[in-house]
């Protein structure tokens, strides 16, 4: 709770010109403080269980992301003073949260444990706009749950054929060849991915059933961000429906026929694209479709804001590793991405983007999987 209250003071009282930097610095220091078990080792506080650690991670994204959104609004208003023409960019991101708004956003059951991450504006639109009560939800949830059954079946199958505990046994290291041990790591990672897919589907289904992240498809929403166009269309829909439907849409359970017939998208809370992750042939494409809402946060708060352009990718991957934890494996896996992405881009340009690249494409697909 101390992290929330301090960020509430930072966002509410500090100048919006630099409140995002203070929020980022404090929140990540706090995250490292608990991750390194400093509070447990030196102050006698209990060790955090796994689910509490995940909740901490999601709170970090929400609080820091909100501070950056507040700063973004400040920059937009500053730009508006020097630009007399009104554009859609100036109409979509104006927010003015108070401490109670921040509390409800931070501790909302939607996304607090397993994600997905979504912006404060998405949370406010859930209440202010009529889409959440008018969007048809059942068909989309049933489709996702059908994939959940498949992933759970595969996860149980893989766990029984290639159990993870076997990798820690003496037989595994004394009787198996290095080639077998290398191949066995692929089955462990497959098991991990299936677990993540299953949890992500359940988390996304909760958001869909509440209607969070529902926007008309014409707005072309993007994961984590929300609508990217047709902002005036949203305002027209909002101001043209009866006032009573805006005020009490959930309690009354009423819907507007025109809105029910609208085509909706839940891309805003789409956090994972398993098909692309499992079938893509480049690491860059795989990253873009894994934890997409988190990828958006990293791009919006680190990549686009980092002052030195040639170090943006390195800074983004380092913050990602820092957010995941303090174990060396995170830094070897995540922070090493900037080292091989340029090589991969060169490889794609020279070999895959020509008529003879199909065989090499298939070889790289095997390497990635």
pLDDT bin (cut points 50, 70, 90) of residue 52 is confident
Which is the catalytic residue, given 7, 30, 324, 353? Answer: 324
Backbone angles phi, psi at 264, to 5 degrees: -115, 160
Residue 360: inside a domain, yes or no? yes
Residue 15: inside a domain, yes or no? yes
The pair of three-digit structure tokens given for residue 73, joined into one six-digit string: 């609004």
Closest by Cα among 90, 63, 75, 74 to 4 = 63
The pair of three-digit structure tokens given for residue 354, joined into one six-digit string: 């020509």
For tokens 């309690």, name the residue: 251
Residue 181: inside a domain, yes or no? no
Give, in order, the Cα–Cα distances in Å from 231 to each of 6, 110, 145, 238: 33, 24, 31, 11
Residue 280: inside a domain, yes or no? no
Find all residues with CB under 8 Å of 349, minimum gap 6, and list them.
none
For tokens 């060169």, name the residue: 346
Of 92, 114, 136, the residue that ends a domain is 114
pLDDT at 65 over 50: yes
Distance CA 17, CA 10 (A): 12
pLDDT in tens, 165-204: 999 999 999 889 999 999 999 999 999 999 999 999 999 9
Spatial contact of 272 and 151, defined as CB atoms under 8 Å apart: no
Find all residues with CB under 8 Å of 114, minimum gap 6, and list them.
54, 199, 200, 202, 203
Query: What per-residue confidence (pLDDT) applies to 243?
Result: 41
pLDDT at 82 over 70: no
Q: pTM to 2 decimals? A: 0.84
Residue 250: inside a domain, yes or no? no
pLDDT at 143 over 70: yes
Residue 119: inside a domain, yes or no? no
Domain that includes residue 369, residue range = 299-369
The pair of three-digit structure tokens given for residue 241, joined into one six-digit string: 């429906």
Find all residues with CB under 8 Å of 292, minimum gap 6, and list them.
223, 224, 270, 271, 272, 273
Whether 324 is catalytic is yes
Residue 144: inside a domain, yes or no? no
Question: Which of the listed ranges 136-145, 219-228, 293-302 does the model predict with the highest average pLDDT?
Answer: 293-302
Query: What per-residue confidence (pLDDT) applies to 39?
Result: 55
Residue 73: inside a domain, yes or no? yes
Query: What per-residue confidence (pLDDT) applies to 180?
Result: 92
Number of domains in the chain: 2
pLDDT at 114 over 70: yes
Spatial contact of 110 and 206, defined as CB atoms under 8 Å apart: yes
Of 91, 114, 137, the residue that ends a domain is 114
Which is the catalytic residue, given 104, 160, 291, 354? Answer: 291
Of 93, 114, 135, the residue that ends a domain is 114
pLDDT at 248 over 60: no
Whether 291 is catalytic is yes
């Amino acid at each position: 709770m101390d992290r929330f209250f301090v960020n509430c003071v930072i966002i509410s009282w500090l100048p919006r010109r630099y409140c995002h930097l203070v929020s980022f610095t404090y929140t990540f220091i706090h995250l490292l403080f608990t991750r390194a078990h400093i509070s447990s080792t030196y102050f006698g506080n209990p060790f955090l269980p796994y689910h509490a650690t995940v909740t901490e991670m999601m709170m970090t994204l929400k609080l820091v992301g909100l501070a950056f959104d507040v700063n973004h609004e400040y920059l937009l208003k500053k730009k508006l003073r020097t630009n007399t023409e009104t554009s859609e960019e100036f109409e979509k991101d104006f927010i003015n949260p108070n401490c109670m708004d921040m509390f409800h956003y931070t501790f909302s059951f939607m996304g607090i444990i397993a994600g997905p991450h979504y912006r404060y504006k998405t949370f406010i639109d859930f209440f202010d706009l009529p889409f959440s009560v008018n969007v048809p939800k059942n068909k989309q949830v049933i489709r996702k749950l059908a994939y959940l059954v498949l992933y759970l079946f595969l996860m149980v199958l893989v766990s029984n054929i290639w159990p993870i505990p076997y990798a820690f046994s003496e037989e595994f290291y004394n009787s198996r060849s290095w080639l077998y041990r290398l191949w066995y790591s692929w089955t462990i990672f497959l098991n991990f991915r299936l677990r993540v897919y299953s949890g992500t589907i359940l988390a996304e289904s909760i958001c869909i059933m509440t209607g969070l992240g529902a926007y008309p498809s014409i707005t072309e929403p993007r994961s984590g961000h929300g609508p990217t166009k047709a902002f005036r269309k949203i305002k027209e829909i909002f101001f043209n429906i009866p006032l009573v439907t805006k005020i009490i849409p959930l309690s009354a359970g009423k819907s507007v026929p025109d809105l029910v017939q609208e085509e909706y998208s839940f891309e805003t809370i789409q956090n994972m694209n398993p098909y692309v992750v499992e079938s893509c042939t480049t690491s860059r494409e795989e990253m873009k479709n894994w934890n997409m809402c988190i990828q958006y946060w990293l791009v919006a708060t680190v990549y686009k804001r980092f002052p030195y352009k040639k170090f943006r990718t390195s800074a983004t991957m380092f913050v990602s590793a820092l957010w995941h934890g303090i174990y060396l494996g995170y830094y070897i896996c995540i922070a090493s991405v900037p080292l091989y992405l340029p090589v991969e881009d060169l490889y794609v340009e020279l070999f895959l983007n020509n008529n003879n690249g199909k065989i090499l494409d298939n070889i790289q697909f095997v390497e990635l999987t």
